[in-house]
Structure formats: C-alpha cells, structure tokens
Amino acid sequence: MNRLGVHALVWVGGWSEAECDRAVTSTAALGYDFIEIPLLDPYGFPVEMTCRRLERAGLGATASLGLSPETDISSEDPAAVARGEDLLNTAVNVVRDLGATHLCGVIHSALMKYMQPRTERGMANVVAVLRRVAERAAAAGITVGVEVVNRYETNVVNTAAEVVSLIERIDRPNVYAHLDTYHMNIEEGFVGLAIERTGERLGYFHVGESHRGYLGTGTVDFTAVFRSLARIGYAGPIAFESFSSAVVDPKLSNMLGVWRNLWTDSHDLARHAKAFMEAQLLAARRAMAVPPG
C-alpha cells in the first residue's frame, strides 16, 4: 500500500507554532500517513517544536522546497551555486532531525520563469551539487526527489524523460524522480505513458488537479494515472497538493500564480482528496488484477 500524504499548504500559509499544530493535527485527524512540510526557511526551521507535534499525532513527514534566484544551483554564478548547496545541505539536516523520509521539490533550480534555455555549464553544476547533497542525504537514510515542473517554473527538467536523464547523470541510488500530475498535465503528451517510462526511477508522487483545486473537477485523467502507477508497481509515497490564495502565504501565492480562491474549506478539500485517491488506487489495483480479454 502506498503511504498517502497532504501538503501542509493545504492547511496553512506558514509554519508558526499555531500553524504547525493546525496542519499536523488536521492531517492526522483525516487518517493521512504523512504531511509534506514546505521548508520555506531551512535555516530557521523549528525542528524541536515540529518533532513534538508529529510525535504527538503519530504522523510521518516528508519535506520539500524550491530554490530562489540567489540559491540557484543551475546558475553559472559560483556564488549562487555555493549558496544553493549550503541551503540544500541545511535542508538535509532538517529532514534528518525531523526523522522525515524524503527531501523533494524544485531542488535543481530557482522556482521561476526563466527567460533563456538551460546551459550545459549550469546542468553540470546541478549534477555536481545534487550528487554531493545525495551522498549527505544517504548517510541519514533520506531519499532525494527531483521534481519535474512546467516550463514556467524551471528550464532544467520539464518532462519525465528529462528527469530520468538527469538522475542517470547524478548516479546516486537514493535520487529518484518526483512527478506531479499538475505539471505533467501541461508538459506530457500521455501522462500514463510518461509514468510507465519512468518506472523504477519514480520515488515520490504529487497528485494535483489541472487547476490545483478539487480532484476530479479538472482535466487530469486520473484513471490513466493510477492505472499506470499500478502497472509499474509503484509503492512509494503519494501526496496531495493544492493551493488557494485564501490559505497560501501571499509571497508564495504570487510566485505560483495562485490568483483566485479555488477553495476555502481546507478540511473538506483534504477529506475529499484522501477518499478520491483511495478510490483510484483500489480501482486501479482491481483493474490490473482482471486478465485481459
């Protein structure tokens, strides 16, 4: 069975003590297995407080982040690359101290619209930095997920094929593809085929609708998605991700282009998402168990 989780930004826009308590308590109350925590500031992250809340709730955790232009490891600026590597190493330390299992997200570039193609020099920086970060993560038993996002949020990896190629260059056993249905719906011709071609390289999966609202109300073909996950025997974490400007921090909301309130009731949204994912997983497994013809 896949562990099911929910992104903390479904519940809160930051990570104060009150926000942490609400996000963790709400996630656990709905029966999710883990919460995905955004490391908005790894240097100032409240590890001890968060650990207490997670332990009290009996909840697992993963963590994700996106780099900024100042910490862009795909840059040709050595200073920016060095800052990015330090940030990622700090994030690994936070994930380790939380007892979390995965560090994922846009850890390969700044989360922004680039106005030029990636460069080979920049890609070499990505490979070198993530190789060292992965080695540090491996020593702590942490899996590293390189997230594929659309062309308006990176120029490094926009498709499953591109992330597999990057992972092969990094060549570390704890580095996997992090796929996201929201981004795949933009960039992939056949989402299910992209999942199947990623195969054993897939290590973390985001479920998000085409408009990032309620699952099943947009254009993502979730039947194909979950059947393809079943075909490759994917047993890793699956996290629901959704954003609304009613909840997300304004700075992040502006960065992601979340201009409208797709929902206001976090509890109803997350409850619906869990039931939707469970139903899709069950239907896909049953479909795969039926002999063709």
Per-residue pLDDT tens for 156-169? 999 999 999 999 99
In total, the chain counts a number of residues equal to: 293
What pLDDT is attached to residue 248? 72
Residue labelled with tokens 């989780």: 5
What pLDDT is attached to residue 277? 98
Q: Which domain holds residue 267?
A: 4-289
What are the tens digits of pLDDT across the range 70-93? 999 999 999 999 999 999 999 999
Q: Tell me the mean pLDDT in the region 194-217.
A: 97
Q: What is the distance between the alpha carbons of residues 36 and 104, in angstroms, rounded to a whole number?
A: 9
Catalytic residues: 147, 241
Instruction: State the total domains in the chain.
Output: 1
Give the ranges where 99-159 is alpha helix by DSSP (H): 120-139
What pLDDT is attached to residue 246? 76
Are 125 and 74 in contact by the 8 Å Cβ rule? The answer is: yes
> Is the pLDDT at 262 greater than 80, yes or no?
yes
Mean pLDDT over each residue of the chain, to the nearest integer: 95
What pLDDT is attached to residue 259? 79
Q: Give the torsion sign (CA, 162, 165, 170, 174).
A: positive
What pLDDT is attached to residue 261? 83
What pLDDT is attached to residue 25? 98
What confidence tier does 227 reach under pLDDT thresholds 50, 70, 90? very high
As given in the structure block, the two tokens for residue 219 are: 């254009």
What pLDDT is attached to residue 240? 98
> The domain that contains 52 carries what CATH number?
3.20.20.150
What are the tens digits of pLDDT across the range 238-248? 999 998 877 77
- Predicted structure pTM score: 0.96
What pLDDT is attached to residue 293? 55
**Cross-strand partners of 102:** 143
What confidence tier does 292 reach under pLDDT thresholds 50, 70, 90? low
| Residue of higher predicted confidence among 261 and 177 | 177
What pLDDT is attached to residue 245? 79
Are 181 and 206 in contact by the 8 Å Cβ rule? The answer is: yes
Q: What is the distance between the alpha carbons of residues 34 and 152, in angstroms, rounded to a whole number?
A: 29
